[in-house]
Each structure stands twice: as C-alpha cells, then as structure tokens.
Amino acid sequence: MIQNSEIADYFTKVADFLEIEGANPFRVRAYRNAVRTITGLAHSIAELIAAESDLTQLSGIGKELNEKIREIVRTGRLAKLEELENRLPPGLHQVLKIPGLGPRKVKALYHTLKIQGLEDLKKAAREGRVRTIEGFGQKTEEKILKDIQRLIHSEKRTPWFTAEAIARTLTEYLKQDQLLADITVAGSFRRRKETVGDLDILISCRNAPAVMNSFTACEGVERVISQGDTRSSIVLRSGLQVDLRVVPRESYGAALHYFTGSQAHNIAIRRIGQQKGLKINEYGVFSGSRRTGGQTEEEVYASIDLPYIEPELREDRGEIQAARERRLPHLVASTDIRGDLHCHTTDSDGRNSLDEMAKAAAARGYAYLAITNHTHHLKIARGLSPAAVKKLIAEIDRRNARLQEVVVLKSMEVDILSDGRLDLPDHILSELDFTVCSIHSDFQLDRDRQTERILRAMDNPRFNILGHPTGRLLNQRPAYAVDLERLITAAAERGCFLELNAHPDRLDLDDVHCRLAKETGVKVAISTDAHSVDHLDYMRLGVAQARRGWLEPSDVLNTHTLAQLQKLFRRS
C-alpha cells in the first residue's frame, strides 16, 4: 500500500518542475500546501480512499489534487509528473536543493549549459563554465561546488535536545553584551519540533552592529553566510545554521510571532489580518500606516480577535479555527506529571540502583515510579528471568512497606516475541502492577505481520502500555513498518495505552499520532525510559512532544493519581 510520504514526494517533484518551468507561483504553492497537509496526516490516504472518504475535505486538497492523489494510489504513477519529466531532465529538481539556486537559476543552468542534474552541475562548476552565465559569477560557482559536497554528505536535521545545548551556549554568549534587552530562540526550536533545521535567535538591543560582529565571530563558526544590520546567518562547524535577527523593542512581539512560525501558521494569520484591513508583519500590526500593536504576541493575536496560541500548536493544523471557536486545548505541562512509568535499574541495563532511582523520583516530587527492567529474551540488556522478576517483585514490596516517599510500581518492559507472545509467563505478569510491552527484535517484518504481532500481544489481558510504538531512532533508524492507526484503534477497544517515549533520540510517538490517540480516546503515557537518574529529566522533552500533539492533562496517563492509574490498568 502506498504511503502518504510517497504521495507527498510525487507532488513535491511536480512543484519543483513547475517552478523551474516558470508556472504560476500560486499553482506551485498549491502543490506544496498539499504536501504539508499530506505529511501532517495521521491517517493513511490510501485507506481513506478505500473507505470512500472525501479527500477534498482536507485543507489544500481540491478537485484536481484529489484526482491526482487517486491516480497515484490507483496506478502508482502520476501522468502530470511523467509529462514534466519528458519536458525537463528528471534529475533537475535535485539542483533546487542547493542553497542559493532557485527555479530561475536552475532554469538558466539547464538552458545555457544543458545541466541535467547534480553530476552535470559539479562538472560544469569545476570546469569554470557556470560563471559564464549571466547572473552567475565566480562566488556563486565556488559556493555551488562546496554545497554539492555538503548535500551529498548529509541532509540531517538536528534533534531538539542537541540544538538546545547549542542554543544555550549561544544565548549565554550573546547575553554578555550589556545593551542586549531581549533574547529568544524562535523558529521550530520554540515550537518544540523533534528536530530543527536551523536556529533563529531574536534579540532587541541598542547596538546592533556590535552584536552582529560578535555573533559572526563567535566560537565554532565555520562560515558566515550573511551579515547585515538586522539579520545575519552563520553555519557552525556542527553543520547547524544559526540566524540572528535584531528588532526594535516595540516590535518584539510581532517579530517573535513572525520568526516562531510556522510559515503556514503565519500566512494564515496574515491573511486574516488582511481581511480585517490590517497589515501584519514582523514590525507590528498596522492599520494603514498607523501602528496598532506588536509589542507582545498577545497583541498580534488580539488584533484579529484571537486568544494567544501556544507555539507548539502553530502548524496550521486547525489551531486557528480552534482559537476562533475558543476551544484551544489546555496543554499538559511538566507540573501535571505525577510520575514516570518506564525506567531501568542495574538489575538489567540501567546505571543506577532501584534505591537511587526511587530517591531521584521522590526528589522530583513524583508520587510514583515504575521500575520496568527488560525481560530475558533481550539478552544484550541483561533481561531478567522469571525467577529474577519474582525476586525483584519481593524487593519492591519490602521497600514500599518500609519507605513512603514515593510508591515504586512493580512492572517490566516485556519483550513482544516474534509471534506476539509476551516474554514472561502469565502467572508472573499477573503479579505486576502493569506492563510496558515493547518490540526489540524482528524489526524487518512486513507491515501486516508486524501489526498482527502487536495486536496479538495486546490480546493478552496483562498488556497495558505499548512501549516506543514505532522503534524509530531519530537520524539513526527508521520506524519499523507498522499500522499505527490500527494499533491505536485496537488499544481503544482493549483498554490499552501507548507510550510517548521521551528519550531525545526516540520521541516515539510523534505529534501527529499523539493527536490521533487523543481523538481515538487512547491515553498516552509520557515515559523517560531512563537508564540513569539523570535521564528522568527527559520528561520535559516528552511533555513538549505531547503538547505538539494537542494533549491535555487528562489525555496523559501519568498525570493521574495512583488510585486512578490502578483502575486504568485493570482491563475488562
């Protein structure tokens, strides 16, 4: 069955080629908007079609694109794309990926030098032919050569957690300037996306040129892309691009809104402003030439009669409509979390003892902490045998009887075996308070078999939480093929829950499926999977991801009291 991402790829290519051909830019945008809608969808388009859903209900999908989606799903081909690839070299769209080369320049490269793709371009640049084209010069040619290498080497985005460390260092450095008034890291970082493409730092200050100089000279700069009075860009040796923007204090809110994005959210907000006769830009809200607001983000939203929208929601995925109808979610916060339902100790592959983990949980003000060590199938993590589990259960009982500062829940991270059985006998499972059940083997099973495997595991009445539901590791390992929609539906039917694993490299469930779980009535456990006391702090990453998924406290399992939890874990 064709994946949403494949459909999106078809449309991205069509948009690229249309752009190179010089088509109506709004038509190009229509394709790109559709790509955004499709990739942000939790449901499989192919299945929506099979269920005879009306795709034109999706934003940005009209009559034409609906037809084209159906064509792709039905035939695996798109005549429109093939037609474009007949007129233009199929590899030409790759050239658009080079920074600084937009559709016009790519078109010029094709027409004058017959460039068909990245290989041709590399050769032409080496031979000094690129600089001979009007509008191109030596600098452009040198930059192309560098960027082709970079493009071949990596296209990776930076995990949020990694970006945070860099952002903290940079903001501390910039704050040394005495005249700096405000500083915020905006962009996708502020929206808490699981990975960020670059960092956007916004400041207001009274000596912009000096700050710009110290910014472009900061430690770790590989090259300076641009430097101006209000905007400068650098690339760090890590490959991360950082943009610094300076705005006047009275514009700070408008600028913060603008640079936080997302672009789609901004466009939607500006359009509403336009309809009300207002111009909204990064300098404020204007009625004619008169400034009517923009010192705070609240003012920007208020200018178009909307309440404040949290950055995590600003993706143009219905938040504006919800704001208009005054039904924005009251997002879960770290302070709502009462405990952690997934962590390891030295009994399996953790670095701290049960006692140390419990004390650390108590220090965080938690009411409960579940110890979920691996089971014996996972030998590499020193998984526990049934006998060892029994011993651990007894130890936890003794501890709970003796100490009251935090309740230690008896649990295990139980391996889901290839055939869907659980890796502990039922009589042991029934002695646990609940289970986290996870896949750690046979990632390569096809989608149907992997889904069936997990569904079978869920059939066991001792199954409570599905751990890291897709197994993906950001930038390292893709998700295993699995039908998450079916799993979420099945979880709802059986009274099971899904984990949002808060580990910075996992963040598994993603935002889109958190929201689907919420809509399906499946509560999500935000768990750190801590292998040491420090890892308990990953909770804030999971909470951020949950907020992007529109989750409210009641949608999250571990905001509930211990008594409520015990009830929720009792299936049937």
Partner DNA sequence: GCCGTTTTCGGCCCGACTGTTTTCAGTCG
- Report the residue number, 230 or 475, with the smaller CB distance to DNA: 230
525, 501 Cβ separation under 8 angstroms: no
Q: Which of 26, 87, 379, 401 touches DNA (CB under 7 A)?
A: 26
| C-alpha–C-alpha distance, residues 415 and 42, integer Å | 26
Instruction: Give me the sign of the Cα torsion angle 219, 225, 227, 231.
Output: negative
* Helix (H) or strand (E) segment spanning residue 239: none
- Report the residue number, 32 or 503, with the smaller CB distance to DNA: 32
| C-alpha–C-alpha distance, residues 227 and 206, integer Å | 17
Q: Cβ contacts of residue 57 below 8 Å, gap of 6+?
A: none
Q: Which of 16, 120, 194, 200 touches DNA (CB under 7 A)?
A: 200
- Report the residue number, 10 or 136, with the smaller CB distance to DNA: 136
Q: Cβ contacts of residue 546 below 8 Å, gap of 6+?
A: 331, 332, 500, 514, 524, 526, 555, 556
Of residues 163-192, those binding DNA (CB under 7 A): 187
- Minimum CB separation from DNA for residue 22, in Å? 9
Helix, strand, coil abundance in the chain, percent, nearest 5: 50, 15, 35
Of residues 322-341, those binding DNA (CB under 7 A): none
364, 401 Cβ separation under 8 angstroms: no
Q: One symbol per residue from 41 to 80: x for binding DNA (CB under 7 A), - otherwise; what is it?
A: ---------------x--xxxxxxxx-------------x
536, 571 Cβ separation under 8 angstroms: no
- Minimum CB separation from DNA for residue 201, in Å? 11
- Minimum CB separation from DNA for residue 281, in Å? 4
201, 244 Cβ separation under 8 angstroms: yes
Among the residue ranges 272-280, 293-301, 387-395, 431-439, the one whose residues contact DNA (CB under 7 A): 272-280
Of residues 503-542, those binding DNA (CB under 7 A): none
CA 177 to chain centre: 33
Selection from 342, 318, 266 nearest residue 542 by Cα: 342
Among the residue ranges 29-37, 39-47, 149-157, 520-528, the one whose residues contact DNA (CB under 7 A): 29-37
What's the token pair of residue 371? Answer: 């110890």
Q: Cβ contacts of residue 321 below 8 Å, gap of 6+?
A: none
227 touches DNA (CB under 7 A): yes
290 touches DNA (CB under 7 A): no
Selection from 282, 194, 188, 182 nearest residue 242 by Cα: 188
- Report the residue number, 259 or 497, with the smaller CB distance to DNA: 259
Q: How many residues bind DNA (CB under 7 A)?
A: 62
3-state SS of 440-508? CCCCCCCHHHHHHHHHHHHHCCCCCEECCCCCCECCCECCCCCCHHHHHHHHHHHCCEEEEECCCCCCE
- Minimum CB separation from DNA for residue 529, in Å? 33
105 touches DNA (CB under 7 A): yes
Among the residue ranges 221-229, 326-334, 441-449, 508-516, the one whose residues contact DNA (CB under 7 A): 221-229
- Report the residue number, 59 or 400, with the smaller CB distance to DNA: 59
| C-alpha–C-alpha distance, residues 44 and 1, integer Å | 9
Among the residue ranges 280-288, 416-424, 493-501, 540-548, the one whose residues contact DNA (CB under 7 A): 280-288
* Helix (H) or strand (E) segment spanning residue 179: none
What's the token pair of residue 161? Answer: 């957690």
| C-alpha–C-alpha distance, residues 111 and 282, integer Å | 38
- Report the residue number, 98 or 343, with the smaller CB distance to DNA: 98
Phi first, then psi: what are they for 108, rounded to 5°?
-60, -40
Q: Which of 89, 91, 99, 504 touches DNA (CB under 7 A)?
A: 99
Burial of residue 84 (number of CB atoms within 10 Å: 0-12, 13-18, 19+): buried
226 touches DNA (CB under 7 A): yes
- Report the residue number, 307 or 521, with the smaller CB distance to DNA: 307
- Report the residue number, 67 or 448, with the smaller CB distance to DNA: 67
Of residues 115-154, those binding DNA (CB under 7 A): 131, 134-141, 143
- Report the residue number, 64 or 177, with the smaller CB distance to DNA: 64
- Report the residue number, 47 or 64, with the smaller CB distance to DNA: 64
- Report the residue number, 24 or 149, with the smaller CB distance to DNA: 24
- Minimum CB separation from DNA for residue 99, in Å? 4
- Minimum CB separation from DNA for residue 516, in Å? 21
Among the residue ranges 99-107, 404-412, 462-470, 521-529, the one whose residues contact DNA (CB under 7 A): 99-107
425 touches DNA (CB under 7 A): no
Among the residue ranges 1-9, 19-27, 376-384, 450-458, the one whose residues contact DNA (CB under 7 A): 19-27
- Minimum CB separation from DNA for residue 24, in Å? 5
What strands lie across the sheet with 436-438, from one edge to the other?
339-340, 368-374, 407-415, 436-438, 465-466, 497-501, 524-527
| C-alpha–C-alpha distance, residues 253 and 258, integer Å | 8
- Report the residue number, 31 or 550, with the smaller CB distance to DNA: 31
34 touches DNA (CB under 7 A): yes
Of residues 240-269, those binding DNA (CB under 7 A): 241, 243, 259, 263, 266-267
- Minimum CB separation from DNA for residue 76, in Å? 19
* Helix (H) or strand (E) segment spanning residue 571: none
What's the token pair of residue 213? Answer: 């100089």
478 touches DNA (CB under 7 A): no
Binding interface with DNA (CB under 7 A)? 24, 26-27, 29-31, 33-34, 56, 59-66, 80, 98-106, 131, 134-141, 143, 187, 198, 200, 225-232, 241, 243, 259, 263, 266-267, 270-271, 274-275, 279, 281-283
